[in-house]
Amino acid sequence: MAASKDSLKASVIIVTYNHDRYICDCLESVLANSPFQIIVIDNSSSDSTVEKIKTRYDGRVEVVIRPNGGFGKGCNEGAKLAIGNILVFLNPDTRVEKGWLEGLTSPFSKQNVKTVAIPRIMQYSGLIVNTIGNIEHYCGLGFLNGNGENWEAFNSIKRSIKGLSGACFAMRKDEFLSIGGFDENRFFCYLEDVDLSWRCMENGFSFFFSRESIVNHDYSPSMTPFKMRSIEEGRYLLLSKHYSRRNILSIAPALLLIDAMMMLQALQNDNKSLKFKIAAMWTGWQRMLASDGVNNSILSDLDYRIPENAYDISNSARKAIKIANWLLEINWRMASR
């Protein structure tokens, strides 16, 4: 429910793993916003991340060192330790602007509905958009929203936001816990924010974009073999979790098209990426066709388009996306009836 501005107490949760290059700049910028609490969950870094935090921020930042159970598990552990009523999740490879925290938490004093607050996430230079929430694709992928665009041009177009980015977002603590937090059992790295976004939609949350809350994120789109494996394994887990077998069959043409495009991407990368893709597809389809979940009504709320600027892809793949989006839209419209 809506709360007075003075009653909002934000616990900032940062999960680190070998982020000594970024952590001091990140924490300095967060502290300048006067948060109620800062919690760093360190996934057993082997560099000087923890040493830097303890040396420079002792008494101002709580640090918990734990075995590396993944991003989602770290966030969940931070949420349990939080004593604030607002949870703010932030990646360590970021710098936040002055007013970031006030802008990000202000919706909770105005909105009396279940809310996810989304900041303006820019690239590290602060000049170009990184992502404003995420684009939630009905085939189980999450894409950057506005990546590479000029902020003024992006802001001039009215767009609906239906997904959060794990780089930074905020929720009421009780609401985050009520839907189970991140699914740490299925997702180790990547797509955990897509799954959380889908569950927020399924549970009637609204995504509120706070333009005054600015995060600068050092992110460059790429597709390493590890990322290929994590995304593809996670995508099939996501689809089998949220869709029934009937849903899967209704969008099978689109899923096969995405498989073909991801296979092309793997071929352009290296043999390891291709091996990971084939293995994930083999087990993933078996899992999806065995799904006994209920028919999911959020299919019609998800997006069908693949943004051309989401990943670092070749020109030939970029052209293929334009054709693919036409076919993906047809399947989406038919399956959403």
Residue, of 41 and 323, whose pLDDT is higher: 41
What per-residue confidence (pLDDT) applies to 294? 66
What per-residue confidence (pLDDT) applies to 159? 77
pLDDT band at 312 (very low <50, low <70, confident <90, very high): low
Q: Which of 26-30, 150-154, 214-218 has the lowest mean pLDDT?
A: 150-154
253-262: buried (b, 16+ CB within 10 Å) or exposed (e) per residue? ebbebbbebb
Query: Which residues, in sequence order, are CB contacts of 13 under 8 Å at separation 6+?
Result: 39, 41, 75, 78, 79, 82, 87, 88, 89, 90
pLDDT tens by residue, 215-259: 999 988 778 899 999 999 999 999 999 999 999 999 999 999 999
pLDDT band at 140 (very low <50, low <70, confident <90, very high): very high
Tokens 């996670």 map to which residue? 234
Is 69 in a helix, a strand, or coil?
coil
What per-residue confidence (pLDDT) applies to 268? 84
pLDDT at 47 over 90: yes
Q: Compute the distance between CA of residue 19 and CA of residue 64 in angstroms, rounded to an integer.
A: 15
